[in-house]
């Protein structure tokens, strides 16, 4: 087996070699394809904060209004990852979305210059019927200063189940 040198570590080659070594002989394909498959299983889950105090969401929601999500910094989210939509003023979770593409930057904007496409999968049409964010074990104290946060697997699955019970698949 090739031992990675210092330069290999900087380019990420050490991770690929380590992954190959871990899976040789167990019947699983090795190399970059297998690494990508394992990476897909390790994708993060997110909460996207929508409708701030100065611009709260309306009670009645339209799925067409949720094609993008904005951020003040380059987003960490990757295409294919899933997220829960959170209405901050309402303190309710109301949708499940998939990140549908790479982040885009608009240098003309001073605030919210980054955005990425999202595709709604489930939506609660009426925020009066949306579950409270606390029901999913997510507490809103720190959410006001972020456009998105990472969720634990348990938080995401709990939120997803609540939204799916209250909403409709798109």
Taking Cα atoms as reference points, which of 153, 168, 128, 164 lies closest to residue 47?
153
85 three-state secondary structure: strand
Q: Are residues 136 and 76 in the same domain?
A: yes
Q: Which CATH number does the domain housing residue 94 bear?
A: 3.10.590.10
Residue 151 pLDDT > 90, yes or no?
Answer: yes
Helix then strand then coil, in percent of the chain rounded to 5, is: 35, 25, 40
User: Is residue 89 in a domain?
Assistant: yes
For the chain, the domain total comes to: 2
Q: For residue range 124-146, what is the model confidence (pLDDT) as tens digits?
A: 999 999 999 999 999 877 666 77
User: Is residue 1 in a domain?
Assistant: no
Q: How many CB atoms lie within 10 A of CB 94?
A: 29
Q: Are residues 138 and 72 in the same domain?
A: yes
Question: Is there a contact between 51 and 87 (Cβ–Cβ < 8 Å)?
Answer: yes
Instruction: Band the pLDDT of 43: cuts 50, 70, 90.
Output: confident
Mean pLDDT calculated for residue range 31-48? 62
Q: For residue range 69-115, what is the model confidence (pLDDT) as tens digits?
A: 999 889 999 999 999 999 999 999 999 999 999 999 999 998 889 99
Mean pLDDT calculated for residue range 29-55? 66
Question: Is there a contact between 160 and 84 (Cβ–Cβ < 8 Å)?
Answer: yes
Domain that holds residue 33: 6-41
Q: Are residues 11 and 80 in the same domain?
A: no
pLDDT of residue 1: 40
User: Is residue 146 in a domain?
Assistant: yes
Element (H, E) at 119: strand 114-123
Q: Are residues 113 and 29 in the same domain?
A: no
pLDDT of residue 144: 65
Residue 8 pLDDT > 70, yes or no?
Answer: no
Could you tell me which residues come within 8 angstroms of residue 1 by beta carbon, excluding any fewer than 6 positions away?
17, 21
């Amino acid at each position: 087996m090739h031992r990675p040198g210092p330069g290999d570590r900087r380019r990420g080659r050490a991770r690929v070699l380590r992954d190959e070594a871990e899976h040789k002989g167990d019947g699983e394909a090795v190399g970059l394809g297998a690494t990508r498959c394992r990476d897909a299983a390790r994708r993060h889950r997110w909460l996207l904060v929508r409708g701030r105090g100065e611009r709260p969401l309306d009670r009645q929601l339209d799925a067409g209004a949720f094609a993008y999500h904005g951020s003040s910094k380059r987003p960490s989210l990757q295409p294919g990852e899933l997220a829960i939509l959170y209405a901050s003023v309402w303190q309710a979770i109301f949708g499940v979305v998939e990140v549908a593409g790479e982040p885009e930057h608009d240098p003309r904007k001073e605030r919210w210059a980054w955005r990425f496409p999202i595709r709604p999968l489930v939506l609660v049409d009426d925020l009066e019927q949306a579950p409270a964010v606390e029901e999913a074990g997510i507490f809103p104290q720190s959410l006001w200063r972020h456009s998105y946060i990472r969720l634990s697997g348990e938080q995401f699955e709990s939120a997803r189940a609540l939204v799916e019970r209250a909403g409709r698949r798109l």
